[in-house]
Amino acid sequence: MADDRLLQALDYILNYSDESSIEVLAEAVVRRRRNISVFGAIGGMPDPQKMAKELTEKINAGIGGGIDGMRKSIRKMIIKIVRENAPELTDSQIDELCQAWLPDPGIQKKEALPRDLLLSMIEQFVSFSRGSMQKSVDENMRKEMGAWPERYWKAFPPVVRRLITDLLKDKISEKDFKTKIVIALDA
């Protein structure tokens, strides 16, 4: 049996509509067909109430997963955003950024070296790397600490390593290097 609304619409179109009403109805039919073709591919017209309910369920499930679940979700978002905007970064660099932006409470952060000590270490490392360090100073440091350049390099924060690399490759001037080092250590 036909739907009563359909019968009423057909009755109106066939018996009561004039030229302007037929134009309005024709436009409505075109619009309805377009909506069906667009939204039919995704399962029908969007239902705001259903969408809100699904979103609420997802949020509640996320909260139910606790802080760890939220941390994992945020980490995945960070990785996705970084990969989209900086595809040249390696996995280890992305992990380093994630750890800096979203520290894992289970991983103990190594204690930062005092600023003055770090400045002295940077100066010694750069001097050694440029070949301007006196041989006797290098020998004494190796007697006391062993492979001190490698130990220093590992102790430097990533930003300091990048700045040293840029200086040694002549990508930045000595003046810019000193300014950026001071800013990096004060951050």
Pick the closest to residue 164 from 119, 134, 132, 113 (CA basis): 119
- Cβ count near 164 (within 10 Å): 19
Q: Domain limits at 14?
A: 4-40
Structure tokens at 141: 């440091």
pLDDT score recorded for residue 140: 92
Q: Say if 48 falls within a structural domain.
A: no
- 104 and 166 Cβ atoms separated by less than 8 Å: no
Number of domains in the chain: 3
Burial status of residue 40 (CB atoms within 10 A of its CB: 0-12, 13-18, 19 or more): exposed
pLDDT score recorded for residue 58: 72
On whether both 93 and 149 belong to a single domain, the answer is no
- 118 and 152 Cβ atoms separated by less than 8 Å: no
pLDDT score recorded for residue 41: 56
Q: Say if 91 falls within a structural domain.
A: yes
- Cβ count near 46 (within 10 Å): 9
Structure tokens at 160: 């300091």
pLDDT score recorded for residue 30: 86
Tokens 């290098």 belong to residue:
138
On whether both 150 and 89 belong to a single domain, the answer is no
On whether both 119 and 180 belong to a single domain, the answer is yes
Which residues of the chain register pLDDT less than 50?
1
- 177 and 166 Cβ atoms separated by less than 8 Å: yes
Task: Give kind and range of the element (H or E) at residue 39.
Answer: helix 19-40
On whether both 98 and 120 belong to a single domain, the answer is no
Global model pTM greater than 0.85: no
On whether both 80 and 33 belong to a single domain, the answer is no
Q: Say if 84 falls within a structural domain.
A: yes
